[in-house]
Amino acid sequence: MLSSVLAAASILFSVSDPANDALGDGAYVLPVAKRDVAQVDIRTFSALDNAGRLEFNIKMGRIQNPDQAPNGFSNPIIDVFIGTGRGGNTDLGASGFSTRPNSGWYYWIRATPWAVTLKRADSADFVQLPANRTAKALVEGSSIVIKTDIPAGEYTYYAISSLYDSLTQKGVALPQPEASPLKLYSPLENAPSALDILFENRQIILWSTREVPPLNEPKLGTNPLIYTGAAGLVLVLITTIWGLFGLARRNGY
């Protein structure tokens, strides 16, 4: 049954993420006090048009708020990156990952238990959307809902879940190379802080490339301009070949 948030808005894009994969490449170990992996596990991601504004519904494996944080959850940090399918920043924050070349982001929303920030990429490609945008987060059931005043539309998306840690400078738990019941652990060298990356397949392959493909990427096959251009090119080739054939016949070849 759809939540009231989903029912009140039209879905622009929605995708599922594999369950129980929120341990990075599979070898990460959460601190004992935050070992409930479901709380940082993205299950579904939906982009919505709510009265002309972009909204996100991010269903988690479970949501709890023992710290009584104002945004309604205690463990995850959710980063959502919004692009257009071309240009933009390619560095996915401090996650340790990047986008494909020329497939970056223009807006970056970070929802922590205590705050929500929205950063705009400094790029001339996106000047039609102003910098002074805002966002806020709330919890509905097992979903983190992020409301923005960004105009609803067709965008590409990246979403990443990390572990909140108030003792670090940026509030993100950084994997440590030595096992400890108090710290996030990973045996990898320079291990990314990301625990779960929105990806329809097994995310372990992303840890080898450190590059994330965009979701909701424009499909070239559905763009009528592609067919028009291809047809024009074929017509030019046929005309050229036919002309050369006629010239050869006239010259007795």
Please tell me the predicted confidence (pLDDT) of residue 55. 97
pLDDT at 207 over 70: yes
| pLDDT at residue 124 tops 80 | no
Q: How far apart are CA 173 and CA 187, in angstroms?
A: 15
Task: Give residue for tokens 């190379």.
Answer: 177
Q: Output the pLDDT for position 121.
A: 86
Shared domain for 240 and 195, answered yes or no, is no
Contact 37, 23 (CB under 8 A): yes
Q: Same structural domain for residues 73 and 158?
A: yes
Domain span including residue 235: 219-253
| Section 38-42 average pLDDT | 98
How far, rounded to the nearest angstrom, does the alpha carbon of residue 77 sit from its chain's CA centroid? 13
Q: What is the chain's mean pLDDT, rounded? A: 85
What's the number of CA atoms in the CB half-sphere (13 Å) around residue 76?
Answer: 35
Residue 200: what pLDDT? 87
Least confident of 20-29, 66-75, 220-229: 220-229
Distance CA 241, CA 238 (A): 5
Do 122 and 155 lie in one domain? The reply is yes
pLDDT at 94: 85
Which pLDDT does position 218 carry in this prediction?
A: 77
Q: Is 65 helix (H, G, I), strand (E, B) or coil?
A: coil
Residues 41 and 11 in one domain: yes
> Is there a single domain that holds both residue 226 and residue 168?
no
What average pLDDT score do residues 172-201 get?
Answer: 95
- On whether the CB atoms of residues 110 and 93 are closer than 8 A, the answer is yes
The residue with tokens 């779960």 is: 196
Q: Domain check: are 139 and 203 in the same one?
A: yes
**Do 226 and 145 fall within a single domain?**
no
pLDDT band for position 210 (cuts 50, 70, 90): very high
Q: Are 128 and 179 in contact (CB under 8 A)?
A: no
**Same domain as 232, residue 159:** no
**Residue 97: which of 156, 160, 39, 40 has the closest Cα?**
160
Same-domain check for residues 63 and 46: yes
Co-location of 69 and 185 in the same domain: yes
Work out the pLDDT band at 123, boundaries 50, 70, 90.
low
Q: Are 204 and 28 in contact (CB under 8 A)?
A: no
Both 109 and 143 in a single domain?
yes
Rounded to the nearest 10°, the torsion over CA 225, 122, 93, 17 is -30
Q: Span 195-204, mean pLDDT?
A: 94
Q: What percent of the chain has pLDDT over 70?
A: 79
- CA nearest to 196, candidates 4, 12, 17, 47: 17
Range with the lowest mean pLDDT among 49-53, 59-63, 83-87? Answer: 83-87
Structure tokens, 84: 């257009």
In the predicted model, what is the mean pLDDT of residues 156-169? Answer: 95
Give the number of domains in the chain: 2
Partners of 90 in the β-ladder = none
Q: CATH number for the domain including 67?
A: 2.60.40.1190
Mean pLDDT throughout 197-206?
Answer: 94
Distance from C-alpha of 206 to C-alpha of 91, rounded to nearest angstrom:
14
